[in-house]
Structure 1
């Protein structure tokens, strides 16, 4: 396997190593068609802010029109409001020393990568798989530009929220853990036990495959 890991694989690794195993086995990384409809919202923030309830009701939002417009007004207060809707570059393949992946946008000057998520955010910050993935994109952009990139963005256009992810010591440590898992994974990892993650996993129906212990894989079991 190439030492340059796909950034989306790091997200799987951070969520559950077994999920990464299934994604690689099935070569299943393409998002469903509905994801593109939601991601398109991230290029229409000014238009959506001005839209009435009827117009917003026809769009794939995950909240009410009233809440959605309030959230967009908060984004409008950001310095990068104009760049978020009209980015300098879209769907850019970034290749770094350790990872490569698609940044859905490059925002600002100097640019930072943005990942546009079809889901909804936690109450604060971003989900760990997305944190790890945008840190990988920021590191790849830094490698390409030979300049420090200290933050990245995760957008949740279905609810009109944008979160900043800074390359803190904690976030870089999470990235390194996921990178190590992605590089070393060459067998079916153990299943998570009684985890809420399993309920939202794409592979939950096929995750009944019995895992083999290290002892049995070495021929002693």
Structure 2
């Protein structure tokens, strides 16, 4: 039986298999600076909601203080607001049959896992790597508790938004694809071609991918 794959590796596999290859060979890999400060916001929603806009501006938020407070007001209308702000568990390591990872929160009873992202959400839904990671956490929780878990949460505390990821056929298929990639990755995968994903990748120089500036695209 194969060892469980890290949920963070599945997210990288969904984003770019080549990035996962380099990350696995990077002894110093870890979260970028500032991540923990942003994630801490997910445990302060009620106090942040009562913080005035001038004070909010000193926090690591990604939108204006006014927009942030409006987002938190909408968040307070969720049925699971009380569970989000007083989770049943925090930073819980979950180990399932195929994957393992840390749920930053366990929310509600029966519990669902919540992944706290330091980034910003797309206009609708959740980015695919985070959907894959959220599904992995839900499956690991289901395995551990021997119960059905049909959804997970992804929180974006830098903007005060929480999204639900349901274990739909499509989301489970994306998870299985990432799991196959992560398990079979014993070679250097091909580079992505003309992908915006390369622009912010920490392994861009090691990969050797060439990104083109606006000047070069215009022929200057």
| TM interval, short-chain normalised | over 0.9
Aligned to 2:30: 30
Aligned to 1:54: 54
CA-CA distance at 1:32 after TM superposition:
2.6
The alignment's C-alpha RMSD in Å is 1.3
Task: Measure the CA separation in 2 of the matches of 1:11 and 1:32.
Answer: 16
Moved more, 19-28 or 110-119: 19-28
CA-CA distance at 1:205 after TM superposition:
1.8
Within the alignment, does 1:102 sit opposite 2:102 as a pair?
A: yes
Task: Measure the CA separation in 1 of the matches of 2:132 and 2:19.
Answer: 15
After superposition, give the CA deviation of every residue in 1:147-187 in whole Å (9 maximum; x if it has no partner). Answer: 00000000000000000000000000000000000000001
Structure 2 portions without partners, runs of 5+? 210-220
CA-CA distance at 1:3 after TM superposition:
2.9
3-state DSSP of counterpart to 1:26: coil
Is the contact between residue 2 and residue 98 of structure 2 (CA under 8 Å) also seen in structure 1? no
Task: Measure the CA separation in 2 of the matches of 1:200 and 1:159.
Answer: 20
CA-CA distance at 1:200 after TM superposition:
1.9
3-state DSSP of counterpart to 1:104: strand
Aligned to 1:166: 166
The runs of at least 4 consecutive aligned structure 1 residues that moved more than 4 Å come to none
Task: Measure the CA separation in 2 of the matches of 1:85 and 1:205.
Answer: 41
Count of aligned pairs between the two proteins: 209
Is the contact between residue 113 and residue 153 of structure 2 (CA under 8 Å) also seen in structure 1? yes
Aligned to 2:128: 128
CA-CA distance at 1:2 after TM superposition:
4.6
CA-CA distance at 1:43 after TM superposition:
0.4
Within the alignment, does 1:117 sit opposite 2:94 as a pair?
A: no
Is the contact between residue 3 and residue 183 of structure 1 (CA under 8 Å) also seen in structure 2? no
- Give matches, 1:76-95, under 5 Å: 76-95=76-95
The alignment's TM-score, normalised by the length of structure 2, stands at 0.92
The alignment's TM-score, normalised by the length of structure 1, stands at 0.92
Task: Measure the CA separation in 2 of the matches of 1:183 and 1:80.
Answer: 35
Task: Measure the CA separation in 1 of the matches of 2:64 and 2:104.
Answer: 25
3-state DSSP of counterpart to 1:178: helix
Is the contact between residue 150 and residue 166 of structure 1 (CA under 8 Å) also seen in structure 2? yes
- Give matches, 1:175-214, under 5 Å: 175-208=175-208
3-state DSSP of counterpart to 1:114: strand
Task: Measure the CA separation in 2 of the matches of 1:172 and 1:137.
Answer: 12
Task: Measure the CA separation in 2 of the matches of 1:71 and 1:143.
Answer: 34
In structure 2, do the counterparts of structure 1 residues 27 and 178 end up closer, same or farther at CA, with 3 Å as the change threshold?
A: farther
Aligned to 2:41: 41
In structure 2, do the counterparts of structure 1 residues 165 and 28 end up closer, same or farther at CA, with 3 Å as the change threshold?
A: farther
